[in-house]
Amino acid sequence: MNLSDVLAAHPEMKYLMFGGKGGLGKTTFSAAAAYHLAKQGRKVLVFSVDPQASLSDIFQRDIFGKGAVEIMPNLFAQEIDADRRIHGFQDDIRKKIKDRYGFDKVPDEIESYIAAASSEPAMEESAIFDAVVDIVVEGGFDYYIYDLVPLGHALYYLSMSSIYDQWINKVTELRSEMQKYDRVAAKLRSQEKTEEDEILTELEDIRRRINLSSSIFTDTKKTGFFFVVTPEEMIILDTKKAEGLFAKFGVPIAGFVVNRVIPERLLSEGIPDYLRHRIESQRAPLARIDETFKDRVVARVPEFERDITGMEMIARVSEQLFGAA
């Protein structure tokens, strides 16, 4: 099956992701897939959860932190500004503290705590996570294409969601338990709503959001997770390993896209030895890819003569990505 067949066979598949090691072509294929689907009349949002976002580069437009920007009819792209979101979190916390304790201004000690917490790397991840949930909850698109971060980070992201979930389960359980007693006490003091109620509601809200975003990753029907590989032994080994790890987190792989295949037909065009050797050295890894991933290889994309930026190049890649496998 080629990529078009996979999508045609799964009409409910609306979240697409291209994963893989750094620099293999995730952003390129995210953009190319978005282009193809938009041309077919589907409304597509391709968005980046990468602090080093590069959708602006490939579309040759500065879209950072501007929400969903229309690139062409039906094609929208978005780069999430994690920093701005973190500032939003901080403002929320400040407001809550001021409201709850009736301060005009957040005390300095608490300010410095807020600043320290915000510089944690996990904070950036959480902010991105949160933004993704917002995008997905808001709806309005036929397809959502995640321009993913390199493998290690994607795994971190997944593991974080399952750990958060366990943690929140535990805390929620404890809090519900406590709430029973608290309610009795509150009744005695004739209070309407306890503080525990509010915290519990907030935790449940966080859990709902996390479940939603991790359920997207693990939902085979709605999500197509494709791995990008290149014809190199090390990359093939790493990809096999990664597939195993993803399976542990319950993320099934919908297919593999092979990138940077130097076309064999060049051999008949009187090319220099250098290039001939490069083509020959891709043969064994290409055969290994076929034997390892078999019919799950959904596309082979050639090495182009230049980088993939701008709509013309994106269109060329999309033809290859959705053409015959």
Interface ranges with Mg ion (CB under 5 A): 26-27
Do the Cβ atoms of 299 and 322 come closer than 8 Å?
A: yes
- Residue 22 in contact with ligand ATP, rule: CB under 6 A: yes
Do the Cβ atoms of 259 and 289 come closer than 8 Å?
A: no
Binding segment (CB under 6 A) for ligand ATP, from list 136-144, 171-179, 213-221, 298-306: 298-306
Contacts of 216 (CB under 8 A, 6+ apart): 15, 136, 222, 223
- Name the minimum Å distance from CB 28 to Mg ion: 8
CA distance 283 to 277: 10
- Residue 239 in contact with ligand ATP, rule: CB under 6 A: no
- Residue 167 in contact with ligand ATP, rule: CB under 6 A: no
| Nearest CB to Mg ion, comparing residues 106 and 135 | 135
| Nearest CB to ligand ATP, comparing residues 24 and 200 | 24
- Residue 262 in contact with ligand ATP, rule: CB under 6 A: no
DSSP 8-class letter at 66: S
Q: Which of 3, 34, 254, 308 binds ligand ATP (CB under 6 A)?
A: 308
CA distance 220 to 234: 28
- Name the minimum Å distance from CB 47 to ligand ATP: 13
| Nearest CB to Mg ion, comparing residues 26 and 209 | 26
CA distance 239 to 151: 9
209 binds, among Mg ion, ligand ATP, none (CB under 5 to 8 A by kind): none
Do the Cβ atoms of 131 and 84 come closer than 8 Å?
A: no
CA distance 137 to 210: 12
Listed residue (98, 45, 25, 101) closest to 302, CA to CA: 25
HSE at residue 216, side-chain half, CA atoms within 13 A, is 21
- Residue 19 in contact with ligand ATP, rule: CB under 6 A: no
Q: Which of residues 120-159 bind ligand ATP (CB under 6 A)?
A: 150
Instruction: Identify each DSSP E strand in 136-186 by its residue range.
Output: 143-147
Number of residues engaging ligand ATP in binding (CB under 6 A): 16
Q: Which of 90, 279, 303, 311 binds ligand ATP (CB under 6 A)?
A: 303
- Name the minimum Å distance from CB 53 to Mg ion: 8
- Name the minimum Å distance from CB 308 to ligand ATP: 4
